[in-house]
Chains A and B, each alone.
Chain A
Amino acid sequence: MCGNEALAEAAIIAGVDAYFGYPITPQNEITAYMSRRMPEQGRVFVQCESELAAINMVFGASATGKRAMTTSSSPGISLMQEGISYLAGAELPAVVVNVMRGGPGLGNIAPSQGDYFQATRGGGHGDYRTIVLGPSSVQELVDCMPLAFDLADQYRMTVLVLADGILGQMMAPVVLEKKPGRNLPAKDWALTGADAREQHIVRSLWLQDGVLEDLNYKLQKKYQQVQKNEVLCEQFAVDDAEIVVVAYGVAARIVRSAVNKARQRGIRAGWIRPLTLWPFPTEQISDAAEEFRLFLTVEMSLGQMVEDVRLAVAGRAPVVFYGRPAGGVPTVEEILEKIRQCSIPENRRLHRRLPI
Chain B
Amino acid sequence: MKTVFERTPTFKNRPTHYCPGCGHGIVHRLVAETIDELGIRGRTIGIAPVGCAVLAYDYLDVDMVEVAHGRAPAVATGMKRTNPDKIIFSYQGDGDLAAIGTGEIVHAAHRGEQITVIFINNAVFGMTGGQMAPTTILGQVTTTTQQGRQAVGDGHPLQVAELLAALPGAIYIERCSVHSPQLIRKAKKAITHAFGLQLENAQGLSLVEILSPCPTNWRMTPIKAIEWMEKEMTTVFTLGRIKG
Chain A residues with CB under 8 Å of chain B are: 17-18, 20, 44, 46, 48-50, 52-54, 56-64, 66, 68, 82-83, 86, 90, 191-196, 199-205
Q: How far is the CB of A71 from chain B (nearest CB, A)?
A: 15
In this complex, how many residues of chain B approach chain A with their Cβ under 8 Å: the count is 35
The interface bits of chain B over 60-80 (1 if a CB of A lies within 8 angstroms of the residue's CB, else 0) are: 011111111001001111110
Q: How far is the CB of B118 from chain A (nearest CB, A)?
A: 17
Closest to A92 in B: B65
CA distance A263 to B104 in the complex (A): 56
B78 lies within 8 A of A68 (CB) = yes
Per CB-CB distance, the 9 closest pairs between chain A and chain B, nearest first, are A60-B78, A195-B42, A57-B78, A56-B74, A60-B75, A49-B107, A61-B78, A53-B74, A191-B63
CA distance A195 to B83 in the complex (A): 15
Interface centre among B62, B78, B104 (most CB of A within 10 A): B78
B66 touches which one: A46, A192, A204 (CB < 8 A)?
A204
Q: How far is the CB of A321 from chain B (nearest CB, A)?
A: 37
Closest to B77 in A: A57
B67 lies within 8 A of A56 (CB) = yes
A64 lies within 8 A of B42 (CB) = no
A63 touches which one: B44, B61, B75 (CB < 8 A)?
B75
- Chain B residues closer than 8 Å to A86, beta-carbon distance: 67-68
**Any chain A CB within 8 A of the CB of B29?**
no
Interface centre among B47, B57, B64, B74 (most CB of A within 10 A): B74
- Chain A residues closer than 8 Å to B77, beta-carbon distance: 46, 53, 57, 60
The interface bits of chain B over 69-108 (1 if a CB of A lies within 8 angstroms of the residue's CB, else 0) are: 0010011111101110010000000000000000110110
B78 lies within 8 A of A205 (CB) = no
B107 lies within 8 A of A61 (CB) = no
A64 lies within 8 A of B104 (CB) = no
Closest to A198 in B: B61
CA distance A20 to B108 in the complex (A): 14
- 8 A-B contacts (beta carbon < 8 Å): A18-B82, A48-B74, A53-B74, A53-B104, A56-B68, A60-B79, A193-B62, A205-B66
B81 touches which one: A53, A61, A63, A202 (CB < 8 A)?
A61
CA distance A112 to B44 in the complex (A): 44
The interface bits of chain B over 13-41 (1 if a CB of A lies within 8 angstroms of the residue's CB, else 0) are: 00000000000000000000000000001
A199 lies within 8 A of B62 (CB) = yes
A193 lies within 8 A of B82 (CB) = no
Q: How far is the CB of B191 from chain A (nearest CB, A)?
A: 19
**Any chain A CB within 8 A of the CB of B43?**
yes
CA distance A18 to B82 in the complex (A): 7
- Chain A residues closer than 8 Å to B82, beta-carbon distance: 17-18, 44, 60-61, 64, 66, 68
CA distance A57 to B65 in the complex (A): 13
B81 lies within 8 A of A201 (CB) = no
Q: How far is the CB of A221 from chain B (nearest CB, A)?
A: 23
Q: How far is the CB of A51 from chain B (nearest CB, A)?
A: 10
- Chain B residues closer than 8 Å to A204, beta-carbon distance: 66
**Any chain A CB within 8 A of the CB of B45?**
yes
B44 touches which one: A20, A49, A193 (CB < 8 A)?
A193
CA distance A338 to B107 in the complex (A): 52
**Any chain A CB within 8 A of the CB of B54?**
yes
A56 lies within 8 A of B78 (CB) = yes
Closest to B85 in A: A193
CA distance A53 to B108 in the complex (A): 10
- Chain B residues closer than 8 Å to A59, beta-carbon distance: 67, 71, 74-75, 78
- Chain B residues closer than 8 Å to A191, beta-carbon distance: 45, 63-65, 79
- Chain A residues closer than 8 Å to B48, beta-carbon distance: 203
Contact of A18 with B81 at beta-carbon distance under 8 Å, contacts A53-B74, A63-B75, A203-B57 already known: yes
A64 touches which one: B41, B61, B67, B83 (CB < 8 A)?
B83
Within B93-147, which residues are at the interface with A (CB < 8 Å)?
Answer: 103-104, 106-107, 110-111
- Chain A residues closer than 8 Å to B68, beta-carbon distance: 56, 82-83, 86
- Chain A residues closer than 8 Å to B43, beta-carbon distance: 193, 195
- Chain B residues closer than 8 Å to A199, beta-carbon distance: 57, 61-64
Q: How far is the CB of B170 from chain A (nearest CB, A)?
A: 15
A201 lies within 8 A of B103 (CB) = no
B41 lies within 8 A of A203 (CB) = no
CA distance A160 to B220 in the complex (A): 50
- Chain B residues closer than 8 Å to A53, beta-carbon distance: 71, 74, 77, 103-104, 107
